Amino acid sequence: MPPRSIRLWTAFRASALALALGVAAVAGPALLAAGPPPQAVVKVFTLKYRKVEDALALLRPLLSDSGAVSAVLETNGNSLTVRATSARVEQIARELATFDVPLRAIDIVVTLLKSSAEKPHGGDKADVSEEIRGIGERLKKLFNVTAFTRLDSVVFQGIEGERVANVMGGGYRLEFVVDPARDGTQVQLRDLSLQRVRHEAGKEVRGQIVRTSINVNLGQPYILGVGRDESAGDKLFVVFFANWRRPGPGIF
């Protein structure tokens, strides 16, 4: 009868071999089931309302640097050629269908405020709307402003992609580009410029106060503090209220 140590070694080898064969038996079918990678398909998307460059920026997270997903722009035809798996192409199609809607009209109520550390006398705040009164605490908390007066309120009406401009009371001029919104809940005012307009010796002179870009949530006030201009000792603030013009997104 073989020694105990030999019997134990033989049993260990048999168990190891059985375990290895068992793993191979399980792994083999799994590898076979994976099969070849899915075939790539090619589809051309032609946009009707939005620029294809803007669509590419929207789809960038879905594109791959490895070549598994690729896109080619054709700006002349405003089209996008996508090469990807059928599942990814369907995902891109859904994103584009949501994005490629008619450009929307928007109303932006812009209120220009002048503030100071001293409380105004009399009824200087009488012409301030209830909405502006409601942000008084925010002005106090963010900018240490305890009193302010309204210089002017103007409704800017525009369409996504357009540049709009208007002259406001006190000799101020405001302009910006309404960038197309991607999700319909906010709008970007790009290349926003606030200037002070004066006339000297019969010529118009514009002094730049601020130039920036902001994202405004629809239906919510956005306060832009622009400091002081060259002729005003008090602080200046611009408050924006934006909403799609009725009857709603995609229709105007």
Q: Tell me how far apart the alpha carbons of residues 212 and 195 are, in angstroms, rounded to a whole number.
A: 12
What pLDDT does 116 receive?
Answer: 63
Residues 95, 119 share a domain = no
Residue 205 lies in a domain: yes
Q: Looking at the structure, do residues 193 and 91 belong to the same domain, yes or no?
A: no
> What Rg, from alpha-carbon coordinates, does the chain have?
32
CB 115 within 8 A of CB 84: no
**What is the chain's pLDDT, residue by residue, as a tens digit (252 residues)?**
555 544 444 444 444 444 444 444 444 454 455 556 678 889 999 999 888 888 888 888 887 655 567 678 787 889 999 888 898 899 999 999 988 888 889 999 999 988 765 555 544 444 545 555 566 666 666 666 667 788 899 999 999 889 999 999 889 999 999 987 777 788 999 999 999 988 888 888 888 999 999 999 999 999 898 866 555 457 788 999 999 886 444 433
Return the pLDDT at 121.
Answer: 53
Q: Last residue of a domain, which of 84, 99, 114?
A: 99
Output phi, psi for 171, to 5 deg. Answer: 85, 30
State which amino acid sits at residue 214. Answer: I
Domain boundary among 80, 99, 118: 99
- Per the structure, the count of domains in the chain is 2
Q: Residues 6 or more apart from 172 whose CB is under 8 A from it? A: 112, 151, 152, 194, 195, 196, 197, 209
Decide if 215 is inside a domain. Answer: yes
* Domain shared by 239 and 170, yes or no: yes
Asked whether residue 131 is domain-assigned, the answer is yes
- How far apart, in Å, do the first and last CA atoms of the chain sit? 97
Tokens describing residue 126: 């009488």
Distance CA 117, CA 123 (A): 17
**Given this model, what pLDDT does residue 126 score?**
44
Hey, which bits of 135-245 come out as E strands? 147-159, 163-168, 172-179, 186-200, 203-217, 222-227, 235-244
pTM of the entire predicted model:
0.64
Same domain, 56 and 127: no
Q: Which of 54, 73, 99 represents a domain boundary (last residue)?
A: 99
Per the structure, the complete domain to which residue 217 belongs is given by 105-244
- How many other C-beta atoms are found inside a 10 Å radius of the C-beta of residue 237? 23
